Amino acid sequence: MHALPQQLANGLFLGSMYGLIAIGYTMVYGIVQLINFAHGEIFMTGGFGALTVYVYVLPDGVSMWVAVPLMIVGGGLVAVLVAIGAERFAYRPLRGAPRLAPLITAIGLSLALQQLVFNLYPNAKSAISFPGLPFGPYHLAGIRIQAGDIFLLVAAPLCMAALAFFTKTSRTGRAMQATAQDPDTAQLMGINTNKIIVIAFAIGGFFAAIAGVAYGFKIGSVSYDMGFQAGLKAFTAAVLGGIGNIYGAMLGGVVLGLAEAVATAYISDIPGMQQLGGQAWAAVWAFVLLILVLLFRPQGLLGERVADRA
Amino acid sequence: MRQRSLIAITAVLSAGALTLTACGSRDKKDSAGGDSGTTTVVIGVDAPLTGQNSATGLGIQYGTQIAVDEANAKKTVPGVTFKVVALDDKALPATGQQNASQLVADKQALGVIGPLNSGVATSMQQTFAAANLAEISPANTAPELTQGKNWQTAKKRPFKTYFRTATTDALQGGFAAQYAVKTLGKKKLFVVDDKQTYGAGLARLFKSNALKFGGKVIGEDHVNTGDRDFSSLVTKIKNSGADLVYYGGQYDESQVITKQLKDAGAKIPLFGGDGMFSDTYIKTAGKASEGDLATSVGVPLDTVDAAKDFIKTYKDKKYPGDYGTYGGYSFDAANALIKAVGEVVSANDGKLPGDLDKNRKDVVAAVQKTNFQGIAGPVAFDDYGDTVNKQLTVYQVKNGKWTAVKSGTFDAA
């Protein structure tokens, strides 16, 4: 098990990115019971929004200390607008329709957003390189940490703390919890549930944008189809952690990331398992883990019982 | 209310669908109409033109386009106007097969250039063979495409209609192994591939040859095309103590792997095949690509006098994509088709015969007899449809540019 700390760190960084995206899935599901399959594309537009700010808005040679916050603002703005637009024009007209209708709409929207970026964004027909952070790598107890990972390491806990604080203490946050528990009663209590739903989409979109920026820094490029795989993994993370639970989403992401890293690194060392290990099998093992968790805890790691209402 | 909105959506969707089909059929009609004085002959192109592999794929499209434009301007074949119909296979075998059917159905098509990916080629060969449509790939290197599944023991050509201007991985894998182990003295090798026909085949041939030359494979792994996070893999490579990573696959993945590998602190070169010999690789990986190596088919185009005009045209017209990898071979392949059509026309008193099936058969026969000096070397095909031009070149990234370090060929025996 050589280099275990480094592999666990790799998994943690990747997992925090999954977790940030997973929050959007889980919040939207918790409130409207909709699996927003277009969320991966919202993550993608966030990455492109940040890139646009860097390439077309900021002057050349601007310091990254100035650029990064503005990129987050730009990416966040784009992703939040896309998320709110999706809610308003694609999902709201179908509220109350059978479950299948919004699900199919989500898949359609996902394809539409991909193709929009593919066709309209300059040079988006293949991957576009993303600016890198000019510092790092850092060494900590034998672990090598890249600048892009530092960004995740700071952003993910900060986002989680802010979200927890918001839902626990603010008036809107509590209204959100009430809507998640019972939308009809919440409405009778005077909560504007439509507004709450929009806010859930917006928060999910903003978190996805942060993940999009992190992806750019970590991988070094963004592409129109980057949301597909990342979205699928994040959805898995949300289910693993217990869909509807925001802490579960982050935990699920981290567990998924760790599982992939450990599977890539060590499965092939087990005698007789050479063919079943390595990078290509990482996702397979992650899904095996998901199945095992769901067998013994159908509600996910931290999930509450939403099954009886669904 | 619910019912009405459902009807509205259905109406909008069907209207949209109808518009789309209408577009499709109109396009079809346009391509069927030709000039009254001359006959139009379509040269199909199939390559990835968007997304994965598109930088090198576009080089195939525009390499062909330049050859066709030249033939039309010079009236190389009197009475015939050539036209390129380029289809995007997105590097997907299923899409490639659909494109093949579409090209076969095109009554003006007498030949096809492409595809880029060996895995896509396997899905297209049968379709072209059934229609006797000649296909010349400027990029496929998997040996089984021309020499059959058991090419190592009993060579047998599976399809009479398939030719290629690129040499095979049997030579490329060996050439790379020879350079890595003998010339560079790298003995501890880590081999990674993308599980595709091309990538896995090339990696396997590199491995077997490297072992023969005294190298040692200390680790192996496989990735999925589309993967972008390789942090665990590169940590594994770093800890294995390897002094060279060989990657069988395309630039889309290897450019990210090399970046993450160098970021992880492993200062060892990544070595790949023609699939990653692309300027996009250096552009994306940046400084991390410095010192990396790639073999590619043919000699460096920039050093060939005959290719100067080609490169100038490509740059002047501001065509997208990288011409360096397959552009020259595509140009030569397109010229082989143009010359073959010319033969058929001159054998029939300067007019293209009316029988499509016979024309296609005659073109295949004429392509088999091709023999001329192209811009990337001699163009002629052996009994298997393989090129007689076995040239290979090792390139290394030096100061942010692919620089040829060794040209030659590999003696498989």
Using H for helix, E for strand and C for coil, what is the string for chain B? CHHHHHHHHHHHHHHHHHHHHHHHHHHHHHHHCCCCCCEEEEEEEEECCCCCCHHHHHHHHHHHHHHHHHHHHHCCCCCEEEEEEEEECCCCHHHHHHHHHHHHHCCCEEEEECCCCHHHHHHHHHHHHHCCCEEEECCCCCCHHHHCCCCCCCCCCCCCCEEECCCCHHHHHHHHHHHHHHHCCCCEEEEEECCCHHHHHHHHHHHHHHHHCCCEEEEEEECCCCCCCCHHHHHHHHHHCCCEEEEECCHHHHHHHHHHHHHCCCCCCEEECHHHCCHHHHHHHHHHHCCCEEEEECCCHHHCHHHHHHHHHHHHCCCCCCHHHHHHHHHHHHHHHHHHHHHHHHCCCCCCCCCHHHHHHHHHHHHHCCEEEECCEEEEECCCCCECCCCEEEEEEECCEEEEEEEECCCCC
**Tokens in use for A9?**
């760190």
How confident is the model at residue A1, as a pLDDT? 63
Handedness of CA B89, B93, B99, B103 (dihedral sign): positive
All residues of chain A having their beta carbon less than 8 Å from the beta carbon of residue B280 are 126
Q: Which of A6, A7, A126 sits opposite B55 (nearest CB)?
A: A126
pLDDT of residue A140: 85
Residue numbers in A near B51 (CB within 8 A):
125-126, 223-225
Residues of A in contact with B199 (CB under 8 A): none
Cis link prior to A98 (omega < 30° from 0)? no
Nearest-CA distance A93 → chain B (Å)? 8
Is the whole model's pTM more than 0.80, yes or no?
yes
- Closest Cα to residue A28, out of A298, A249, A280, A188? A249
Token reading at A226: 């980057």
> How many residues are listed for chain B in this entry?
413
| Residue A286 pLDDT exceeds 70 | yes
**Of chain B residues 123-152, which have a CB less than 8 A from chain A?**
none
- Residues in B closer than 8 angstroms to A283, CB to CB, are 224
pLDDT at A278: 86
What is the C-alpha R_g of chain A? 19
When pLDDT is cut at 50, 70 and 90, the band that residue A248 belongs to is very high
pLDDT of residue B6: 54
pLDDT at position A61, please?
A: 82
Q: Do A97 and B2 touch (CB under 8 A)?
A: yes
Chain B contacts of A11, Cβ < 8 Å? 232
Q: How many CB atoms lie within 10 A of CB A172?
A: 13
Q: Does A93 touch chain B (CB under 8 A)?
A: yes
Burial class (CB in 10 A: 0-12, 13-18, 19+), B83: middle
CB contact under 8 Å between B52 and A279, yes or no, is no
Residue of chain A minimizing CA distance to B320: A123
The reported pLDDT for the residue numbered B31 is 39
Q: If pLDDT is split at 50, 70 and 90, which confidence band does A307 have?
A: very low
Given this model, what pLDDT does residue B32 score? 40
Cβ of residue B195 closer than 8 Å to a chain A Cβ = yes
Q: Using CA coordinates, name the residue in chain B closest to A266.
A: B236
Q: Which of A7, A93, A264 sits opposite B5 (nearest CB)?
A: A93
Number of Cβ atoms within 10 Å of the Cβ of B102? 16
Asked if the Cβ–Cβ distance from A6 to B235 is below 8 Å, we say yes
Q: Over chain A, what HEC string results?
A: CCCHHHHHHHHHHHHHHHHHHHHHHHHHHHHHCCCCCCHHHHHHHHHHHHHHHHHHHCCCCCCHHHHHHHHHHHHHHHHHHHHHHHHHHHHHHHCCCCCHHHHHHHHHHHHHHHHHHHHHCCCCCCCEECCCCCCCCEEECCEEECHHHHHHHHHHHHHHHHHHHHHHHCHHHHHHHHHHHCHHHHHHCCCCHHHHHHHHHHHHHHHHHHHHHHHHHHHCEECCCHHHHHHHHHHHHHHHHCCCCHHHHHHHHHHHHHHHHHHHHHHHHCCCCHHHCCHHHHHHHHHHHHHHHHHHCCCCCCCCCCCCCC
Residues of B in contact with A118 (CB under 8 A): 50
In Å, how far are A78, B82, B202 from B169, measured between CA atoms?
46, 32, 6
> Does residue A308 register a pLDDT over 50?
no
| Phi, psi for residue B113 in degrees, rounded to 5 | -105, 130
- B227 chain-A contacts, CB cut-off 8 A: 229, 279
Distance separating alpha carbons of residues A36 and A208, to the nearest angstrom: 13
CB within 8 Å: A127 and B284: yes
ipTM score of the complex? 0.88
Indicate the pairing of strand A128-129 with strand A221-222: antiparallel
CB within 8 Å: B54 and A260: no
Cα(A26)–Cα(A293) distance, integer angstroms: 17
Q: How far is CA B5 from CA A93, A95, A99, A264, in A?
A: 8, 12, 16, 49
Residues pairing with B220 in the sheet: B191
Across A8-27, average pLDDT: 95
Q: How far apart are CA A3 and CA A307, in angstroms?
A: 41
Q: How far is B189 from chain A (nearest CA, A)?
A: 16
The residue written with tokens 């087990």 in the block is: A270
User: Is the pLDDT confidence value at A258 over 50?
Assistant: yes
pLDDT of residue A135: 81
Kindly determine whether residue B236 and residue A280, on different chains, have CB atoms separated by under 8 Å: no
Nearest CA in chain B to A143: B264
| A221–B256 CB contact, under 8 Å | yes
Domains of chain B: 37-167+303-381 (3.40.50.2300), 169-297+393-408 (3.40.50.2300)
Interface with A, mutate which of B12, B228, B247, B279 (most A CBs under 10 A) = B228
Across the A/B interface, how many CB contacts are shorter than 8 Å? 91
Q: In b/e form, how buried is each residue of B303-329, taking b as 16+ CB within 10 angstroms?
A: ebeebeebbebbeeeebebbbbbbbbb
Structure confidence at residue A3 as a pLDDT band (50, 70, 90): confident
Taking CB atoms and an 8 Å cutoff, what residues of chain A touch B229? 14, 218-219
Does the distance separating the beta carbons of A264 and B233 come in below 8 Å? yes
- For helices A193-219 and A4-32, give the axis angle rounded to 10 degrees: 160
Q: How far is A15 from chain B (nearest CA, A)?
A: 11
CA-wise closest residue to B89 among B21, B161, B19, B139: B139
**How many angstroms away from the CA of B138 is the closest CA of chain A?**
21
Put simply, the answer to whether B263 touches A11 (Cβ < 8 Å) is no
pLDDT of residue B10: 58
Chain A hits for B230, CB-CB cut-off 8 Å, are 279
Task: For chain A, say whether B302 makes contact (Cβ under 8 Å).
Answer: no
Q: Does A90 touch chain B (CB under 8 A)?
A: no
- Whether residue A310 has pLDDT greater than 70: no
Q: How many residues does this entry show for chain A?
A: 310
Give the tokens for residue B219: 């680790």
For chain B, residues with pLDDT lower than 70 are 1-37, 412-413
Bridging pattern class, strands B270-272 and B293-297: parallel
Domain boundaries, chain A: 19-235
Per-residue pLDDT, B323: 92
Q: Write out pLDDT tens, residues A37-91.
A: 999 999 999 999 999 999 999 988 888 889 999 999 999 999 999 999 999 999 9
Residues of A (227-256) whose Cβ lies below 8 Å from B = 229
**Sequence-distant (≥ 6) Cβ neighbours of residue A192 within 8 angstroms:** none
Instruction: Count the neighbouring beta carbons within 10 Å of the beta carbon of residue A133.
Output: 17
Residue B172's pLDDT is 95
Compute the distance between CA of residue B119 and CA of residue B201 in angstroms, rounded to an integer: 10
Token pair listed for A172: 């809107």
B9's tokens: 């959506």
- Which residues from chain A sit within 8 angstroms of residue B49, using beta carbons? 125
The predicted pLDDT at position A271 comes to 83
Question: Is A126's Cβ below 8 Å from some Cβ in B?
Answer: yes
**What residues 4-33 of chain A have any CB closer than 8 A to a CB of chain B?**
6-7, 10-11, 13-14
Q: What would the two tokens of residue A121 be? A: 């964004």
- CB contacts of B5 in chain A (<8 Å) are 93
Q: Span A131-143, mean pLDDT? A: 84
A218 touches B at CB < 8 Å: yes
User: How far apart are alpha carbons B134 and B142 in whole angstroms?
Assistant: 18
Most B CBs within 10 A among A10, A224, A228, A267, hence the mutation to make, goes to: A10
Give the separation between CA B65 and CA B72, rounded to whole angstroms: 11
Q: Chain B residue with minimal CA distance to A8? A: B232
B74 touches chain A (CB under 8 A): no
Any idea which residue has 């080089």 for tokens?
B59
Residue in B116, B76, B229, B167 with CA at minimum distance from that of residue B384: B167
CA dist., res. B145 & res. B137, Å (int): 10
Residues in a beta bridge with A222: A128
**Per-residue confidence (pLDDT) for residue B7, from 0 to 100:** 57
pLDDT tens sequence across A288-304: 999 999 999 988 999 86
- Among chain A residues, the shortest Cα distance to B53 is held by A126
The β-bridge relationship of strands B109-113 and A221-222 is: unpaired
